[in-house]
Amino acid sequence: MRKFLPWLLTVGLVFLFRGSPMGWIFPMALGTFLLREKLARLLVRWPLWLAFPASGLVFGQLTECFAILQNWNLPPDRKILLHPNPLVDLLLGFFYYLLFALTWYLLLRRVRFSKGAVFLISGLFGLATEQGGAIVTGLLASPVWGSLMALFVMSVYGAFPALALLLSEARFPERRRPAVWHYPLALFCLFVFWVVFGIGIYRPLISVFPK
Protein backbone atom coordinates (compact mmCIF):
# COMPACT_ATOMS: atom_id res chain seq x y z
CA MET A 1 0.00 0.00 0.00
CA ARG A 2 2.85 2.39 0.83
CA LYS A 3 4.36 1.80 -2.62
CA PHE A 4 1.02 2.42 -4.30
CA LEU A 5 0.26 5.76 -2.62
CA PRO A 6 3.18 7.74 -4.16
CA TRP A 7 2.12 6.61 -7.64
CA LEU A 8 -1.47 7.53 -6.86
CA LEU A 9 -0.22 10.98 -5.84
CA THR A 10 1.79 11.27 -9.06
CA VAL A 11 -1.24 10.45 -11.21
CA GLY A 12 -3.38 12.76 -9.08
CA LEU A 13 -0.98 15.65 -9.69
CA VAL A 14 -1.18 15.07 -13.44
CA PHE A 15 -4.96 15.41 -13.29
CA LEU A 16 -4.79 18.29 -10.84
CA PHE A 17 -2.64 20.36 -13.22
CA ARG A 18 -4.33 19.23 -16.45
CA GLY A 19 -5.52 22.81 -17.02
CA SER A 20 -2.07 24.25 -16.25
CA PRO A 21 0.54 21.94 -17.81
CA MET A 22 3.52 23.77 -16.29
CA GLY A 23 2.44 22.18 -13.03
CA TRP A 24 3.42 18.81 -14.50
CA ILE A 25 6.98 19.49 -13.39
CA PHE A 26 5.85 18.24 -9.96
CA PRO A 27 4.61 14.78 -11.07
CA MET A 28 7.66 14.63 -13.38
CA ALA A 29 9.92 15.13 -10.37
CA LEU A 30 7.98 12.72 -8.17
CA GLY A 31 7.83 10.05 -10.87
CA THR A 32 11.57 10.38 -11.48
CA PHE A 33 12.24 10.02 -7.77
CA LEU A 34 10.13 6.87 -7.62
CA LEU A 35 11.92 5.40 -10.66
CA ARG A 36 15.37 6.73 -9.76
CA GLU A 37 17.03 3.33 -9.34
CA LYS A 38 15.75 1.95 -12.65
CA LEU A 39 16.59 5.17 -14.52
CA ALA A 40 20.06 5.27 -12.95
CA ARG A 41 20.69 1.71 -14.15
CA LEU A 42 19.74 2.76 -17.68
CA LEU A 43 22.08 5.74 -17.58
CA VAL A 44 25.02 3.72 -16.25
CA ARG A 45 25.44 2.29 -19.75
CA TRP A 46 26.59 5.74 -20.87
CA PRO A 47 29.74 7.55 -19.71
CA LEU A 48 29.05 10.19 -17.08
CA TRP A 49 30.08 13.06 -19.37
CA LEU A 50 27.20 12.03 -21.65
CA ALA A 51 24.68 10.66 -19.14
CA PHE A 52 24.41 13.78 -16.98
CA PRO A 53 23.98 16.36 -19.78
CA ALA A 54 21.66 14.03 -21.68
CA SER A 55 19.37 13.50 -18.70
CA GLY A 56 19.40 17.23 -17.95
CA LEU A 57 18.47 17.88 -21.58
CA VAL A 58 15.59 15.40 -21.48
CA PHE A 59 14.15 16.86 -18.28
CA GLY A 60 14.65 20.37 -19.64
CA GLN A 61 12.92 19.62 -22.92
CA LEU A 62 10.03 17.98 -21.07
CA THR A 63 9.73 21.20 -19.07
CA GLU A 64 9.74 23.18 -22.32
CA CYS A 65 6.99 20.93 -23.73
CA PHE A 66 4.89 21.71 -20.66
CA ALA A 67 5.50 25.43 -21.30
CA ILE A 68 4.44 25.06 -24.94
CA LEU A 69 1.19 23.41 -23.87
CA GLN A 70 0.67 26.08 -21.20
CA ASN A 71 0.96 28.82 -23.85
CA TRP A 72 -0.77 26.97 -26.67
CA ASN A 73 -3.91 29.12 -26.92
CA LEU A 74 -2.22 32.47 -26.33
CA PRO A 75 -1.43 34.89 -29.17
CA PRO A 76 2.24 34.82 -30.25
CA ASP A 77 3.12 38.12 -28.57
CA ARG A 78 1.89 36.85 -25.19
CA LYS A 79 3.59 33.46 -25.20
CA ILE A 80 6.26 33.13 -22.52
CA LEU A 81 8.60 30.94 -24.55
CA LEU A 82 11.95 31.16 -26.26
CA HIS A 83 10.02 31.35 -29.54
CA PRO A 84 6.26 31.32 -30.30
CA ASN A 85 6.72 28.57 -32.92
CA PRO A 86 6.81 25.26 -30.99
CA LEU A 87 9.38 23.59 -33.26
CA VAL A 88 11.73 26.57 -33.16
CA ASP A 89 11.17 26.82 -29.42
CA LEU A 90 12.26 23.22 -28.97
CA LEU A 91 15.28 23.81 -31.21
CA LEU A 92 16.33 26.75 -29.05
CA GLY A 93 15.48 24.71 -25.97
CA PHE A 94 17.79 21.93 -27.13
CA PHE A 95 20.80 24.24 -27.00
CA TYR A 96 19.60 26.08 -23.89
CA TYR A 97 19.07 23.01 -21.71
CA LEU A 98 22.10 21.18 -23.07
CA LEU A 99 24.42 24.11 -22.25
CA PHE A 100 22.70 24.55 -18.88
CA ALA A 101 23.33 20.89 -18.03
CA LEU A 102 26.91 21.02 -19.35
CA THR A 103 27.61 24.03 -17.14
CA TRP A 104 26.45 22.08 -14.11
CA TYR A 105 28.41 19.01 -15.19
CA LEU A 106 31.64 21.00 -15.30
CA LEU A 107 30.91 22.51 -11.89
CA LEU A 108 29.98 19.16 -10.35
CA ARG A 109 33.18 17.56 -11.64
CA ARG A 110 35.12 19.86 -9.33
CA VAL A 111 32.79 20.55 -6.39
CA ARG A 112 30.36 18.25 -4.56
CA PHE A 113 27.24 20.41 -4.68
CA SER A 114 24.17 18.76 -3.19
CA LYS A 115 20.94 18.30 -5.10
CA GLY A 116 19.39 20.99 -2.91
CA ALA A 117 22.17 23.43 -3.77
CA VAL A 118 21.80 22.70 -7.50
CA PHE A 119 18.06 23.27 -7.19
CA LEU A 120 18.44 26.52 -5.24
CA ILE A 121 21.20 28.04 -7.38
CA SER A 122 19.40 27.16 -10.61
CA GLY A 123 16.17 28.51 -9.15
CA LEU A 124 17.78 31.83 -8.23
CA PHE A 125 19.19 32.07 -11.75
CA GLY A 126 15.72 31.47 -13.20
CA LEU A 127 14.21 34.01 -10.82
CA ALA A 128 16.64 36.66 -12.06
CA THR A 129 16.33 35.90 -15.79
CA GLU A 130 12.74 34.77 -16.35
CA GLN A 131 10.76 37.31 -18.39
CA GLY A 132 13.59 39.81 -18.18
CA GLY A 133 13.40 40.05 -14.40
CA ALA A 134 9.62 40.53 -14.30
CA ILE A 135 9.25 37.90 -11.57
CA VAL A 136 11.54 39.86 -9.26
CA THR A 137 9.59 43.04 -10.01
CA GLY A 138 6.33 41.22 -9.25
CA LEU A 139 7.79 39.94 -6.00
CA LEU A 140 8.51 43.49 -4.89
CA ALA A 141 5.14 44.83 -6.06
CA SER A 142 3.03 42.07 -4.49
CA PRO A 143 4.95 40.10 -1.85
CA VAL A 144 2.31 37.39 -1.28
CA TRP A 145 1.38 36.57 -4.88
CA GLY A 146 4.90 37.44 -6.03
CA SER A 147 6.38 34.96 -3.56
CA LEU A 148 4.18 32.16 -4.88
CA MET A 149 5.20 32.96 -8.45
CA ALA A 150 8.85 33.18 -7.44
CA LEU A 151 8.73 29.76 -5.76
CA PHE A 152 7.08 28.26 -8.82
CA VAL A 153 9.63 29.76 -11.22
CA MET A 154 12.46 28.55 -9.00
CA SER A 155 10.94 25.07 -9.09
CA VAL A 156 10.79 25.15 -12.90
CA TYR A 157 14.45 26.09 -13.21
CA GLY A 158 15.69 24.03 -10.30
CA ALA A 159 13.97 20.74 -11.07
CA PHE A 160 15.64 19.55 -14.25
CA PRO A 161 19.33 19.88 -13.20
CA ALA A 162 18.56 18.53 -9.72
CA LEU A 163 16.80 15.50 -11.25
CA ALA A 164 19.79 14.90 -13.53
CA LEU A 165 22.03 14.88 -10.46
CA LEU A 166 19.62 12.57 -8.64
CA LEU A 167 20.21 9.92 -11.31
CA SER A 168 23.99 10.36 -11.59
CA GLU A 169 25.21 11.59 -8.22
CA ALA A 170 26.80 8.30 -7.17
CA ARG A 171 28.91 8.19 -10.34
CA PHE A 172 30.80 11.42 -9.76
CA PRO A 173 34.35 10.98 -8.42
CA GLU A 174 35.33 12.18 -4.97
CA ARG A 175 35.47 15.97 -4.95
CA ARG A 176 35.94 18.84 -2.54
CA ARG A 177 33.06 20.00 -0.39
CA PRO A 178 31.74 23.41 -1.49
CA ALA A 179 33.11 26.43 0.30
CA VAL A 180 30.94 29.50 0.78
CA TRP A 181 32.38 31.20 -2.30
CA HIS A 182 31.55 28.22 -4.53
CA TYR A 183 27.83 29.05 -4.40
CA PRO A 184 28.03 32.56 -5.90
CA LEU A 185 30.64 31.22 -8.34
CA ALA A 186 28.18 28.58 -9.57
CA LEU A 187 25.51 31.24 -9.98
CA PHE A 188 27.97 33.42 -11.90
CA CYS A 189 28.79 30.48 -14.20
CA LEU A 190 25.09 30.10 -15.01
CA PHE A 191 24.97 33.76 -16.03
CA VAL A 192 28.04 33.20 -18.22
CA PHE A 193 26.23 30.29 -19.90
CA TRP A 194 23.20 32.56 -20.37
CA VAL A 195 25.28 35.23 -22.11
CA VAL A 196 27.02 32.65 -24.32
CA PHE A 197 23.68 31.14 -25.29
CA GLY A 198 22.14 34.54 -25.99
CA ILE A 199 24.98 35.85 -28.14
CA GLY A 200 26.24 32.66 -29.75
CA ILE A 201 23.02 30.71 -30.35
CA TYR A 202 19.83 32.65 -29.64
CA ARG A 203 20.61 35.73 -31.73
CA PRO A 204 21.82 33.80 -34.82
CA LEU A 205 18.83 31.46 -34.74
CA ILE A 206 16.37 34.30 -34.21
CA SER A 207 17.79 36.00 -37.28
CA VAL A 208 16.97 32.83 -39.23
CA PHE A 209 13.62 32.20 -37.48
CA PRO A 210 12.29 35.66 -36.55
CA LYS A 211 9.45 35.85 -34.04
Q: How many domains does the chain have?
A: 1
pLDDT at 211: 85
- The residue among 82, 117, 87, 110 whose CA lies nearest residue 197 is 82
Distance CA 107, CA 116 (A): 15
Give average pLDDT by consecutive 10-residue segment, the chain, 211 residues.
Answer: 82 92 96 96 95 98 97 91 96 98 98 98 95 80 84 96 97 94 98 97 94 85
138 belongs to a structural domain? yes
3 belongs to a structural domain? no
15 belongs to a structural domain? no
pTM of the shown model = 0.94
159 belongs to a structural domain? yes
For the stretch 173-184, pLDDT in tens is 999 999 999 999
- Average pLDDT value over all residues in the chain: 94
pLDDT at 81: 94
10 belongs to a structural domain? no
pLDDT at 1: 60
